[in-house]
Structure 1
Amino acid sequence: MSDFKPVLLALPSLTPSLAVEILPRGLTIHRIFVQEGGRTHDIVVGPEKPEDHLRNKYTNTLIGRYTNRLPVGTHSIERKIKEDEIACKINITAKNEGDTASLHGGAQGFDSLPLTLLSSSSESTLFTKAELISLATHIPGESSSSIWRLVSEDGDQGFPGQLTVEVLVALKEGSGSKRVEGDWEELALGSIIIVYRARVQGKNCKPVVTPINLTQHWGFNLDASLEKKDPSVLKHSLIVKASHTIERDADDLPTGNLLPVAGAHVHNGKKIEEGFPSGGYDDFYMFSKPALSVKRINLSDITKTSVDLLEPILSSSGETESVVELSSDESGLRLTFSTNQTGVQFYSNNYASPGGGTRKKIHGGSGNVGDGYGPGSAAFLEFHEPLAAFLFPQFQKNKDDTLLASDEVYHNFVKVDVAVRHLAPAV
């Protein structure tokens, strides 16, 4: 399979309301099609041609092994594995942002690597049999889900241990039910579900511990398909149920200090343009309520048929409470996000350059280089654990240390519910 040949997931109905195109390279979400009212929207920014993602780095890709910025240097880490304290070192030497930072996993992070599409879900080694049954029950038909695998060798970009990653991407039918709020009615179109799993193995099966913090670096614009000349999200409304942001230094590296959400960082449903900072947003928000969902599984439990963490994600019961909402009055589209992660990085595409990028034709672009998106054209919403958490003791106390041991399996999910709102017909 070509690294840039799209794999289409679609809902099984005759007129699918939701579809996703995935590129193997970087597990890139190339397109998210939303069909409603006779109109087709593509709600993620990006290039027209799949190959042009080489120019548009980090656009809608998987980020790994570690999202955002880590300070260059050697870092000692340790974690208890059974009764033993296992110590390891990570040696971050590849500077790919300035002289002090390794960004998004390093110079050859997961965004630049091809993932393998498993021919059958039964090939998975990181999802239990019970979970695969739940997947078949709630997501019928092979065209609505896929599982992808990537193996990162020991020492890759300075990280210890061989890391095996499996990612489930699935689409679920919307309820179709309409609910009325004042003069509005809403139709649930469907959900996009991404579940990340990973395990680490040391050389010669020796115990090992490694940092991991995966996310999807996807950028949304709910109005871009409305034949906009210059797509912008500044008039989108944003809700982030957060209590704190994480302070960054002059090199944009996290200090570990928590700052109360205030001023421009209060996203309570106001327009993004209200209080918009001069340099835009590129901030990590800690959610007000800690996620109660499991984030690590005992490796031994993967072979147990009774373990099923997918059921509450795929079904309508037991879901994690929504933490982020992005909506547009103009298109009527609304995205509601739930996750088991501690926070979200909100980036307003500050460094986008129209002259250096490309833009989809459905978003008013030509598809050619030099006709790209500008700053403020997307809301990147990346769900993960705190920035460089394993370097700061306060996050280790809260079990948000982003360290994975060889007797565990990493579990991270995000679910996006897609809906459309219209004025209710007059009675």
Structure 2
Amino acid sequence: MSGGVCQYGRWCGAGSAGCDGSAWGKTPGGQDVKIITLTNDHAMTVRVITYGGIIQSVEAPDRAGHVQDLVLGFGTLEGYTKDSAEGGLFFGAMIGRYANRLAHGTFTIDGKSYHTDLTDPPNALHGGKIGFDKHVWTLVDTRKTAGEASVTLRLVSPDGDQGFPGTLTTSITYTLNDNNALSLHYQATTDAPTVLNLTNHSYWNLNGEGSGSIENEVLRVNAERYTPTDSTSIPTGELAQVEGTPLDFRKPARIGDRLRSDFIQMMYAHGYDHNWVVEGEYGKAPRPAVTVYDPASGRTLDVSTNQPGVQIYTSNSLTGKYAGISHRAYRQTDALAIEAEHFPDSPNHSSFPTTELRPGQKFDYTTIFKLGTR
């Protein structure tokens, strides 16, 4: 165990930030799944499982020092595999090959059309029937350096997987540092032209998993524009101004204040489920995207990213079907998904930032979730 490196369940050395891993059951198909725990010296703990690259829990203190889990999820592997088998609400999962929606499951590269499954008819959602969230990822490395701990997972998606061309090799590195920042670093390469959109689908509740609605939480989004959609959640191609709409969070506002607006975009989505255009240049250093504040606990969440957009979703599809770690049922508005990503349906909108990836290029994006209190 030289250089503070550990793999496959061995503790990665002394010091403040640390990591360890252990077996966490088998999939219905018999594949072994591991859980990796990252810790720091500020009472923050993050657990990641190799199934779906899922963030299983994020524990952090409130203003009084009380530590709680802040993401929705399950205490056993069965909770995640059951959700996947029944269609999927993507609790904490890595999403790919194409996060968000593709109109009619169709896209074109170099004049050739490709098709993937219509998992959200009449469109494709989150990468097909067997997306990245339903695979067991390879545990490549767990590592500790000064003030941080990380784990890297890898998945190789073969040519034609879910209808997407090219053999795609994807890695995700989760890093927790002693500033209570969790960084997600996505990298991918391909051997043939393809399209790619990666994100994480954690459901955040800063007052604690299972604590009820996030309507009292205060949201700020660093965006002057968003991408309006039709009634099936496919962008029209317009970059519309948020001013004068319920999507204007340029100044902090309580999430519940306009949640039940009759604005047509809100009616289509049954709440918030929209892509905001993050201000500033994308593809460079991560820049501020989203801030959330929970008055009850005093917790804050600052999200920065170098992706061009962020989809914010008020868990509109949670119906009480699932109960999580707290043994409380999850219902609509019980959490906020903050999905930093490229725009929905980008391959079918030439004016949107491209999601094409070609041989010799590298998909290389980072999103940071930083927790604090006030």
The alignment's TM-score, normalised by the length of structure 1, stands at 0.73
Q: Pick from 334, 339, 349 the counterpart of residue 377 of structure 1.
A: 334
Query: For 1:38 and 1:101, how far apart are their aligned partners in 2?
Result: 45
Q: Pick from 66, 69, 80 the counterpart of residue 39 of structure 1.
A: 66
Query: For 2:222 and 2:146, how far apart are their aligned partners in 1?
Result: 32
Q: Is the 8 A contact 1:88 1:160 kept in 2?
A: no
Tell me which residue corresponds to 1:124. none
SS of the residue corresponding to residue 322 of structure 1 reads strand
Q: Pick from 147, 153, 156 the counterpart of residue 152 of structure 2.
A: 147
Tell me which residue corresponds to 1:7. 36
Q: Pick from 350, 358, 374 the counterpart of residue 323 of structure 2.
A: 358
Letter in 1 for 2:130: Q
2:256 is the counterpart of 1:234: no
Tell me which residue corresponds to 1:266. 248
Q: Is the 8 A contact 1:55 1:357 kept in 2?
A: no
Shift in Å at residue 74 of structure 1?
Answer: 4.5
Tell me which residue corresponds to 2:259. 276
2:55 is the counterpart of 1:29: yes
Tell me which residue corresponds to 1:191. 181
Deviations along 1:354-376, one digit per CA (max 9) or x if unpaired, are: 1x111222xxxx2xxxx521101
Deviates most, 45-54 or 264-273? 45-54
Unaligned runs of 5+ in 2: 1-22, 27-31, 262-269
Query: For 2:106 and 2:34, how far apart are their aligned partners in 1?
Result: 38
Q: Is the 8 A contact 2:219 2:253 kept in 1?
A: yes
Q: Is the 8 A contact 1:284 1:345 kept in 2?
A: yes
Label 1:120 to 1:221 Cα distance change in 2 as closer, same or farther (>3 A): closer
Q: Is the 8 A contact 1:192 1:417 kept in 2?
A: yes
Tell me which residue corresponds to 2:311. 345
1:300-339 to 2 correspondence within 5 Å?
320-339=286-305
2:136 is the counterpart of 1:171: no
Q: Is the 8 A contact 1:145 1:168 kept in 2?
A: yes
Shift in Å at residue 115 of structure 1?
Answer: 0.5
Q: Is the 8 A contact 2:105 2:123 kept in 1?
A: no
Query: For 2:308 and 2:81, how far apart are their aligned partners in 1?
Result: 30
Flag the structure with more relative contact order, 1 or 2, with Cα contacts below 8 A and sequence separation at least 6.
1
Label 1:224 to 1:136 Cα distance change in 2 as closer, same or farther (>3 A): closer
Query: For 2:135 and 2:99, how far apart are their aligned partners in 1?
Result: 15
Letter in 1 for 2:135: L
Tell me which residue corresponds to 1:296. none
2:30 is the counterpart of 1:77: no
Query: For 1:102 and 1:292, how far apart are their aligned partners in 2?
Result: 26
Unaligned runs of 5+ in 1: 79-86, 122-134, 175-189, 202-207, 294-318, 422-427
Shift in Å at residue 21 of structure 1?
Answer: 0.9
Shift in Å at residue 75 of structure 1?
Answer: 2.9
1:110-149 to 2 correspondence within 5 Å?
110-119=132-141, 136=145, 139=148, 144-149=149-154
Shift in Å at residue 96 of structure 1?
Answer: 1.4
The alignment's TM-score, normalised by the length of structure 2, stands at 0.83
Query: For 1:388 and 1:420, how far apart are their aligned partners in 2?
Result: 36
Shift in Å at residue 289 of structure 1?
Answer: 2.3
Deviations along 1:47-98, one digit per CA (max 9) or x if unpaired, are: 33332023443111000000111123553213xxxxxxxx654222x22122
Deviates most, 29-38 or 264-273? 29-38
Query: For 1:350 and 1:404, how far apart are their aligned partners in 2?
Result: 32
SS of the residue corresponding to residue 315 of structure 2 reads coil
SS of the residue corresponding to residue 171 of structure 2 reads strand
What root-mean-square deviation, in Å, do the aligned CA atoms of Structure 1 and Structure 2 show? 1.9
Q: Percent identity?
A: 27
Larger Rg: 1
Deviations along 1:366-411, one digit per CA (max 9) or x if unpaired, are: 2xxxx5211011010000111111211212xxxx211100111110
Label 1:265 to 1:193 Cα distance change in 2 as closer, same or farther (>3 A): same
